[in-house]
Chain A
């Protein structure tokens, strides 16, 4: 009961809770300590103290605790042995984590997969394929349930019937973003939703960086799929490095804005994701056995006619319009339209906006 109380109390900040815990070693001692004792730690002043006392007196923690239990929310604190080991080692672990689902096993290997919310089909497909592959090989995927890369990573893990953990920047009773409702409902059955915030806390911009440090904190390595040069994903990568985690980045073309961040990370010395197998070797510290395979072979395997291949090669992982492609290939407009229709039917292209298409293709072979 005392850990729960300390976790939901509003009058103390997260930092104060953690520092008090380090000073007094348990929630019980903190909450039963005399005024002098608390002030004696030098961590809080009298205003905070009086607010704390008032809250302790007026709030019905018992009732709240039962509500959490009934709704299936659990709590794990630094006092518990189940508290994720890696997370407790970062400089600023939260005193308590609320969760819904099952806590990761201490032996479980957690890999974070993060990236931009607005990503290209390249990054999204890569995130999904990699997560699925890693989940197949016994890793659990950690991410932030945001749109774009995050969602793709969770989906990949779920596809492989693996485990996945999502850290939210709001109370666990709020599904943000709402479009990820499916993930929000699915993840607790195949892992857990985590949050350092009590129920009812709305997502606010400044909570997101704080949430990001937990994603890298709980994982042994961080994979960055796509990120712009100045983006939250790069901040996560920096935090991960500070926490001593390995960072891997998916390389992209130098002309792609969405890959600038990743390429920058690689230049800074981050691991490069060259193939699934190589990444797996890196993550498991196995000796590397790299399969040789020519990239050029991929187009020939598509079984396309000459003109279809020409058109297909003009499209890309970001949306391109029909008239743009027409200028490139110089085909008759109507011929082009019928080829595109064929490619769509064969599942090689997808219309993502009015008359704009992207390639649908596997990235890792």
Chain B
């Protein structure tokens, strides 16, 4: 007897539909699984055998061959247990009425026959829809992800028996979408709750509006992390397309906190500085997404930037340029999307108080501290702003600060302007304007040009720094609804310009 069920395997964050074929024929009693299977797929054989037996079925003493096709594709993951079990049961004569042509099945089995959740259901469903499958049998616990794939009949099952009953009689068990516990309305920090910090607030707004990478520096306890964690509230909600892509990533990496994403909130990742390179970039024998991919279409916040391993930070450079990361491993090469807004915070020195009189670092240690961040990486921060210790008078001000929603309105408006301007180009945001195209988008008058020439010398700007100021000025102009980049926009951009390392090198002027 022969049977065939469709399932899927993961490659990176994409999924490919494969077919699980089972043949039961005469010969020595063997249970064999073939088809370029990884260890966890092969082990499924034992789970399937035990579960079938525990359901009271006798596995005939015949030759059972399981093949997962196409045979040259490496298969991994635990989602093959359920399709293999069903296919075996079909091949030995169960469920004669089952219709399998448009059915997709995935799920892991426990020894008692319960169906356990798996990673990557969302991309699997998308792949299934792509090849024209209509009905999907998946673990009940994964049901929440199914909401993203309209046009499919998705049935969640909790036990192998329920799956069998569906195949035979078409009976559907009670569907329960599990919302993770974190979904209880979590208090999100709003910009209205942050007192003072006028400069940083404004800088955050500019950073988000033009997707400029943003670096905050200042003494400990000045509220840098606080501001960063409020950033998602002023980011515009994700579009459906973005949402699907982000959900796919989270589905593959098996992250729980998907409810906020489903509401359209952008991801906010703040990995600890003890993280490894692989955790940042993604990787492993079977490559899995790293933090930069998890922050796709959202914010990657690196607190205490100089404390990160230097190599870990250098990894960021290529994704920041290309918006994706290529990971090559022994047999596979994956491309993970990694288009994120990089936000970082740092103390200016070891003790955190440079250049104030409170600082007790030696000039050498001050120079070494900034040197932990390479110049090329420093160059990728378009915007820098200093966080100041909040004064007690500011804290006590009863007047509420501007709320996130109000700021978001301006951000969205500025983004609309950019969308209109860059229609038909590869550029989406001001931060991506190439230096060749900058003259076209940031045209300056004589007065403005003169100002920049002066600044170029006075602030010892680099060529890159010069262009960065123009890009940021463009965003500031967009925020104010101005078509031209005016002097005031340039001046503000200069104020938020990239850190100048010179100020950290032996600097006799700021000793106090």
Contact = CB atoms under 8 A, between A and B. Distances in A.
A258 B357 CA distance: 9
A354 B503 contact: yes
A351 B355 contact: no
A345 interface: yes
A179 B506 contact: yes
Contacts of A352: 355, 503, 507, 509-510
B459 A351 contact: yes
Contacts of B101: none
Interface string A326-365: 0000000110011001001100001111111010000000
Interface string A316-330: 011101110000000
Interface string B441-485: 000000000000011001100000000000000000000000000
A148 interface: yes
A120 interface: yes
Contacts of A333: 492
Contacts of B510: 319, 352-353, 356, 358
A333 B455 CA distance: 17
A132 B426 CA distance: 61
Nearest to B492: A334
A118 B366 CA distance: 13
Residue with the greatest number of chain B CB neighbours at <10 A, chosen from A338, A345, A354, A358: A354
Interface string B485-500: 0001001101100011
For chain A, give the interface size range.
Answer: 35 or more
Interface string B182-203: 0000000000000000110000
Contacts, number: 80
Contacts of A350: 509
A321 B508 CA distance: 17
B357 A148 contact: no
Interface in B260-283: none
Contacts of B488: 334
Interface in B338-363: 355, 357, 363
A341 B355 contact: no
Contacts of B355: 319, 352-353, 356
Contacts of A118: 511-512
A121 interface: yes
Contacts of B506: 147, 179
Contact of B508 (A148, A258, A355): A148
A142 interface: no
A121 B384 CA distance: 26
Contact of A345 (B384, B388, B458): B458
A152 to B, nearest CB: 8
B491 A338 contact: yes
B7 to A, nearest CB: 57
Contact of A353 (B455, B494, B495, B507): B507
Contacts of A30: none
A163 interface: no
B242 to A, nearest CB: 34
B386 interface: yes
A256 B198 CA distance: 28
Interface in A202-223: none
A27 interface: no
Given A352-B510, A358-B509, A337 B503 contact: no
A83 to B, nearest CB: 34
B306 to A, nearest CB: 16
B359 to A, nearest CB: 9
A193 to B, nearest CB: 20
Nearest to A324: B388
Residue with the greatest number of chain B CB neighbours at <10 A, chosen from A120, A337, A353: A353
Contacts of A322: 495
Interface string B364-387: 000000000000000000001010
A103 to B, nearest CB: 30
Contacts of B455: 341
A318 B356 CA distance: 9
A31 interface: no
B511 A120 contact: yes
Contacts of B509: 121, 319, 350, 352-353, 358
Contacts of B198: 323
A351 B199 CA distance: 18
Given A119-B512, A147-B508, A258-B357, A354 B499 contact: yes
Interface in A76-101: none
Residue with the greatest number of chain A CB neighbours at <10 A, chosen from B458, B494, B512: B512
A17 interface: no
Contacts of B511: 116-120, 148
A337 B512 contact: no
Contacts of B495: 322, 337, 355
Nearest to B494: A337
Nearest to A228: B357
Residue with the greatest number of chain A CB neighbours at <10 A, chosen from B384, B458, B492, B508: B508
Given A341-B454, A354-B217, 19 more contacts: A121-B509, A148-B508, A177-B363, A179-B506, A257-B357, A319-B355, A319-B509, A323-B388, A337-B491, A337-B492, A351-B459, A353-B355, A353-B507, A353-B510, A354-B503, A355-B495, A356-B510, A358-B509, A358-B510
27 contacts: A118-B511, A118-B512, A119-B511, A119-B512, A124-B508, A152-B508, A256-B512, A257-B512, A258-B357, A258-B512, A318-B357, A319-B509, A319-B510, A321-B388, A322-B495, A323-B388, A341-B454, A345-B454, A345-B458, A350-B509, A351-B458, A351-B459, A353-B507, A354-B499, A355-B386, A356-B355, A356-B510
Lowest 5 A-B CB distances belong to which pairs? Answer: A118-B511, A352-B509, A120-B512, A318-B512, A179-B506
Interface of B: 198-199, 217, 355, 357, 363, 384, 386, 388, 454-455, 458-459, 488, 491-492, 494-495, 499-500, 503, 506-512
Interface of A: 116-121, 124, 147-148, 151-152, 177, 179, 256-258, 317-319, 321-323, 333-334, 337-338, 341, 344-345, 350-356, 358
